[in-house]
Structure 1
């Protein structure tokens, strides 16, 4: 559509020749995905984003020429010939990019220096684990046997929501799932902590829950096996450009399709007339109108501020009234310490290590929740994160949002002192494990859960949102399949993003695809999607201008 014929957003009614208008709140992955699929399907869209960058929690910031990449540790769908990969390639997320694939998922080291490496190759993993503890042959062989079976499965159901799946697609899914139904059921019903309790060796017993860097606490065996199998197939790698690079690529795909993103545009409320969403009002009073409004921002903000609590559903009430404050349902906040180092680490160094901390170390690390610290050599993940000849290390741990929030509210000086304690601990800890590195450190940047909340808008700094394999996951499934990502009693409105589609990036992206498929029926459009096909090589300049996280830094 030419610029002259584009709809005028401040008019209530669109012209007879104008395409249906869709306003999207939030330029996170869910919002950008919704916009891209809606543009492909013939709608005219506009995204309003409060921040200066796309991506939401899938972001990065800079300090002293270092890029601190925040979100992705691995990305489901970096390979080929599966639904997850198709979604990313339709969104242009991987255009022109190399993918870093690792032979191991993680290494866990206890306080005595004993270590275990979780290789993605089941044969190598089995040999390694048996060398550590021959007495644990039975659970070791059982785990590796199941990993081999998952490697033979290639099922990623992210293209069509079940209510819209044609019979042919449903039958194809059944053909994949039924032969391995018992495997799925058994591994989904066995909690990792219960399985880990079978090991006699104390290192293995403690280490297995940390395969995914931190202990996800409620996870069963299934996601560990599924993601390790994906990594074995090079379908869970790290895309060049990292988190913000992913968001920038999807943004580029969206705008190339004719979409528009308005940054520094904070939506204050969703305009509703006769129980129908008709547009949005920005801070300052400016109003924009559309045929459909999609909220892809923080879930609590959507329900209670933008809609004033007037529209809800049993599923939404369960999520945001009953489950929001239950720690077993929502991921805790994260403390991140990014370290810029003059010099390069040996390429043979392990890219990711979880250290199980001693009581003394745990006591010294402010508000640590799991007595562990994850250390990742981010320069091994992608180029462009550090200037030539330098490196970036990312140290993280789960922490208590309420602790940091109250400290920042009541005693800003003490808040900054605790962030300095994190920086001092990380510097000393890295020196212990990499002698000589302390003298080469040029910058340490510490982000608390309250920092994340202020920078991205995500509630309580929970970058992953709802925990999978909990009651919250069941409610989200009903919200997608039964409510069709809508709120009863409110037409012309849909929900997308991590709080309504699930916490991983691929699920957030898939939520945009699902929403568009549903709203196409309302708008009289045919849903269409195709791969971007972009081939221009990725380079760090595509990240654009990066803000600093905070003006004040730790020493």
Structure 2
């Protein structure tokens, strides 16, 4: 008899000799990661997920045989020889998959048709930028010089929280950081917007903040240089299968380790006895018990819903009371318009372009925040996103969540009309950029920030959550390393996922590793992890059956 069949999750206490039980709330990347590492370390785990799919915001859906891949634009850790890659390979996320690597991050085109391409090769980038604007030689050479220096750095500290690092691990990190300490400080201390003031060319001044498709507004130079250098070494690629494919691979790793995921299982309450979390209650009243609970779902839902506001901590209170409503600290929602069309995409066109919009176009695009529209040739990222002989384009922009939410709540017909405006704009805009394309468009599927919230459970449709390089970073670091990813006054509960570790998939995945290292100490287990080593080739059939996003279509 297997251990899983012997366990009785309805029992308040486990029988002698049985392994510790851990319940995980949410099958996003943070929850699945927690389950994998806990299983590897000898615990018996069970994940409860309200949706029918794993992945949370790392997801996809279908429409007319097209697959609309939602989350990943690039993934840190697709290369080899670094800690980020090790995390993904321990989780089986890249098993049997090819990686798509691009020579540039993005092309930015202004309303007059001038373009700049951000190549990852610093030599090629420098030549290209100097051709565009010889007068800007000084800032161009400074940026490319720093990019060359970053290509020698391979630091991805996602294995162990600093509180638990050994002396040897800390020394290895110091050996990497110290030679480049001044470079790190200067790159982290120079805001991109301030750096752009050095350019005379108006296109370069406007385009540099859009290297990562949309302007991240608070970013210094550091993440641009760091990730472009990673992409230069093929460590920021796109994995075959995309977003849902990544989640499915981690799910397969988890179940292969003996874990169990219950879908359509919505946790309504975390059960607490004598200030200790002991189990969960599902919608309908069914109760399940465990030695430890890990909440890897939306942060505010955990605190105010599942725990009914009974437990908090100064740092958590700072996050979800003092910072949650500050737009400068939280990524806005995203509007996505997926376009399915007949025919193949032009192989010579950039795989990703940010178009800087004119005032007229900005006024016509509902809720656009940055006067820009990102157009990605998604079917060139991976096989299986479009039927044979057809293609998928993904158009996206930052938008305001509140206006979409209010409209959907108060006037559903107007809400659908607004989505139709987005679809009509995208159709017309693509026709202007690629004459004749509109005749081949078969479907335009629009997802608002409210759609994202409803489909993924991500509050406010903010797929990246907290903004990096803001005061939030210090709070999250203390939550991880001082509070041990737990709440004051409540034993037996840990917190994982992007709201408690920072945005980005690698951070969500590492949160599962971190939280398992802490709970292993509480449960008397030895933390263990090893690479999956799976070699079964990936194929689109592994995505499983995909739901359609909403019943009513945008024309």
Cα displacement (A) at 1:132: 0.5
Cα displacement (A) at 1:473: 1.4
Residue in 2 aligned with 1:95? 95
Residue in 2 aligned with 1:43? 43
1:300-319 alignment to 2 at 5 Å? 300-319=300-319
Residue in 2 aligned with 1:510? 510
Residue in 2 aligned with 1:406? 406
Residue in 2 aligned with 1:31? 31
The root-mean-square deviation of aligned C-alpha atoms, in Å, is: 0.7
Q: In structure 2, how many angstroms separate the alpha carbons of the residues matched to 1:265 and 1:338? A: 29
Q: 2:519 matched to 1:519?
A: yes
Deviations 1:83-109 (A, max 9, x none): 000000000000000000000000000
Q: In structure 2, how many angstroms separate the alpha carbons of the residues matched to 1:131 and 1:196? A: 18
Q: How many residues align?
A: 555
Which secondary structure does the structure 1 equivalent of 2:75 belong to?
coil
Residue in 2 aligned with 1:107? 107
Alpha carbons of structure 1 residues 93 and 4: separation in structure 2 relative to 1, 3 Å: closer
Runs of 4+ in 1 over 2 A off after TM superposition: 3-6
Deviations 1:299-354 (A, max 9, x none): 00000100011111111011100100111100000000000010001222210000
Deviations 1:396-417 (A, max 9, x none): 0000000100111111111100
- Contact 1:293 1:492 survives alignment (8 Å): yes
1:218-237 alignment to 2 at 5 Å? 218-237=218-237
Q: In structure 2, how many angstroms separate the alpha carbons of the residues matched to 1:305 and 1:5? A: 31
Deviations 1:108-130 (A, max 9, x none): 00000000000000000000000
Residue in 1 aligned with 2:415? 415
Residue in 2 aligned with 1:323? 323
Which secondary structure does the structure 2 equivalent of 1:137 belong to?
helix
Residue in 1 aligned with 2:366? 366
- Contact 1:22 1:292 survives alignment (8 Å): yes
Q: In structure 2, how many angstroms separate the alpha carbons of the residues matched to 1:232 and 1:5? A: 48
Cα displacement (A) at 1:3: 4.6
Q: In structure 2, how many angstroms separate the alpha carbons of the residues matched to 1:353 and 1:388? A: 24
Q: In structure 1, how many angstroms separate the alpha carbons of the residues matched to 2:19 and 2:501? A: 27
Deviations 1:477-520 (A, max 9, x none): 11001101010100000000000011010000000000000000
Residue in 1 aligned with 2:381? 381
Q: In structure 2, how many angstroms separate the alpha carbons of the residues matched to 1:391 and 1:528? A: 43
- Contact 1:375 1:394 survives alignment (8 Å): yes
- Contact 1:106 1:212 survives alignment (8 Å): yes
1:54-453 alignment to 2 at 5 Å? 54-453=54-453
Deviations 1:43-98 (A, max 9, x none): 00000000000000000000000000000000000000000000000000000000
Q: In structure 2, how many angstroms separate the alpha carbons of the residues matched to 1:434 and 1:380? A: 17
Q: In structure 1, how many angstroms separate the alpha carbons of the residues matched to 2:187 and 2:309? A: 39
Which secondary structure does the structure 1 equivalent of 2:373 belong to?
strand
> What residue ranges of structure 1 are gaps of 5+ in the alignment?
none
Deviations 1:343-379 (A, max 9, x none): 0012222100000000000000001000000000001
- Contact 1:5 1:18 survives alignment (8 Å): no
Cα displacement (A) at 1:7: 1.6
- Contact 1:74 1:236 survives alignment (8 Å): yes
Q: In structure 1, how many angstroms separate the alpha carbons of the residues matched to 2:60 and 2:488? A: 37
Which secondary structure does the structure 1 equivalent of 2:541 belong to?
helix
- Contact 1:315 1:475 survives alignment (8 Å): yes
- Contact 2:281 2:288 survives alignment (8 Å): yes
Q: In structure 2, how many angstroms separate the alpha carbons of the residues matched to 1:233 and 1:32? A: 28
- Contact 2:485 2:496 survives alignment (8 Å): yes
- Contact 2:22 2:290 survives alignment (8 Å): yes
- Contact 1:422 1:446 survives alignment (8 Å): yes
- Contact 1:7 1:19 survives alignment (8 Å): no
Q: In structure 2, how many angstroms separate the alpha carbons of the residues matched to 1:435 and 1:531? A: 48
Residue in 1 aligned with 2:492? 492
- Contact 1:120 1:228 survives alignment (8 Å): yes
Q: In structure 1, how many angstroms separate the alpha carbons of the residues matched to 2:312 and 2:225? A: 36
Which secondary structure does the structure 1 equivalent of 2:148 belong to?
helix
Q: In structure 1, how many angstroms separate the alpha carbons of the residues matched to 2:511 and 2:459? A: 19
Which secondary structure does the structure 2 equivalent of 1:68 belong to?
strand
Cα displacement (A) at 1:474: 1.3
Q: In structure 1, how many angstroms separate the alpha carbons of the residues matched to 2:18 and 2:475? A: 37
Q: In structure 2, how many angstroms separate the alpha carbons of the residues matched to 1:292 and 1:427? A: 51
Deviations 1:449-486 (A, max 9, x none): 00000001110000000000001111101100110101
Which secondary structure does the structure 1 equivalent of 2:348 belong to?
coil
Cα displacement (A) at 1:431: 0.5
After superposing the two structures, state which structure 1 stretch, 304-313 or 5-14, moved more: 5-14
Q: In structure 2, how many angstroms separate the alpha carbons of the residues matched to 1:79 and 1:136? A: 33
Q: In structure 1, how many angstroms separate the alpha carbons of the residues matched to 2:303 and 2:120? A: 41
Which secondary structure does the structure 1 equivalent of 2:280 belong to?
strand
Residue in 2 aligned with 1:460? 460
Which secondary structure does the structure 2 equivalent of 1:237 belong to?
strand
Q: In structure 2, how many angstroms separate the alpha carbons of the residues matched to 1:388 and 1:240? A: 17
TM-score, with structure 2 as normaliser: 0.99
Q: In structure 2, how many angstroms separate the alpha carbons of the residues matched to 1:317 and 1:42? A: 33
Q: In structure 1, how many angstroms separate the alpha carbons of the residues matched to 2:359 and 2:502? A: 35
- Contact 2:4 2:44 survives alignment (8 Å): no
Cα displacement (A) at 1:6: 3.3
Deviations 1:21-44 (A, max 9, x none): 000000000000000000000000
Which secondary structure does the structure 2 equivalent of 1:546 belong to?
coil
Cα displacement (A) at 1:5: 5.5
